[in-house]
Amino acid sequence: MSANPSETPPNFISVGENAESREIAVLLRADTSAQSRPALMWLGGYRSDMSGTKAVEMEALAAELGCASIRFDYSGHGVSGGEFRLGTISRWLEEAMAVLDHAGPKRVVLVGSSMGGWVALRLIQELKRRGTGPEVAGLVLIAPAPDFTCDLIEPHLTAVERASLEERGYFEEPSEYSSDPNIFTRALIEDGRQNRVLTGIIDTGCPVHILQGMMDRDVPFAHALKLMEHLPVNDVTLTLIRDGDHRLSRPQDIERMRAAITALALA
């Protein structure tokens, strides 16, 4: 394992126009492989950023393999501009697409963690719809949370939370990972309904490896099983980690992630 992130300061690209414009921080590492291996792109989770353990480990692995790597912060996250409360799946998807276009790889392995798994699946759909962009050579999903606003939040809203959404446009809940509460906005939830992917077969067009902890209290492993029902039968691997939590950042979890990425990058 490596724990040394790139020391290069991020570049910033502008996404959106006029009042919607925000500066997105991007860290790119060049391809050094003579084999023209796919780039590795990190797609982080809700309220996480590109300096997290798994994102840094992905970049370190890219250096070992000679692959390019792409890391960035969504708006309202990390060192990117923009307000967190304005964030929606559509907005963060737009930023992911802009970063991918900016990096310009010919082939890419997408590595999505938690909400980043949802963004990764939507990114593949948008690339197919657009008909331009890199070939997606593989997809590694870590505790993926597609449709989490519809499936994991809305059905469990309390009367107080529903009232807060109606009156204030958001509600808060304590975070296990920060002293600041999680904030879920009405815009995020309404936009989530427009970005659902668990509505039919998701044609990724590439091999998929899902890593899921069975002790995950944020995204129950039953959600990964539901995702499996919507993926093509071939070229999909699900690894259930009996004692794994949502973060999957322990040394043994990192090694599983590295092995899954390596297998797809070298295929």
pTM of the model: 0.95
pLDDT category of residue 4 using cuts at 50, 70 and 90: low
Evaluate if residue 265 carries a pLDDT over 80: yes
Query: Is 265 in contact with 44 (CB distance < 8 Å)?
Result: no
For residue range 154-174, what is the model confidence (pLDDT) as tens digits? Answer: 999 999 999 999 999 999 988
Whether the CB-CB separation of 50 and 71 falls below 8 Å is answered with yes
Residue 91: CB atoms within 10 Å: 21
CA angle 248, 252, 253 (to 5 degrees): 25
Please state whether beta strands 182-185 and 135-142 pair in parallel, antiparallel, or not at all (unpaired): unpaired
For residue 67, what are the CA distances in angstroms to 41, 64, 131? Answer: 10, 8, 24
Q: What pLDDT, in 10s, does the model give residues 30-52?
A: 998 878 899 999 999 999 999 99
Query: Within a 13 Å sphere around the CA of 229, how many CA atoms are in the beta-carbon half?
Result: 9
What are the structural domain ranges in the chain? 11-145+206-265
Q: Which two tokens stand for residue 255?
A: 């090694």
CATH number of 11-145+206-265: 3.40.50.1820
pLDDT interval class at 3 (50, 70, 90): very low
User: How far, in Å, CA of 182 to CA of 186, rounded?
Assistant: 13
Q: Exposed, middle or buried by CB within 10 Å (0-12, 13-18, 19+), for 19?
A: exposed
**Rounded Cα distance, 250 and 246, in Å:** 11
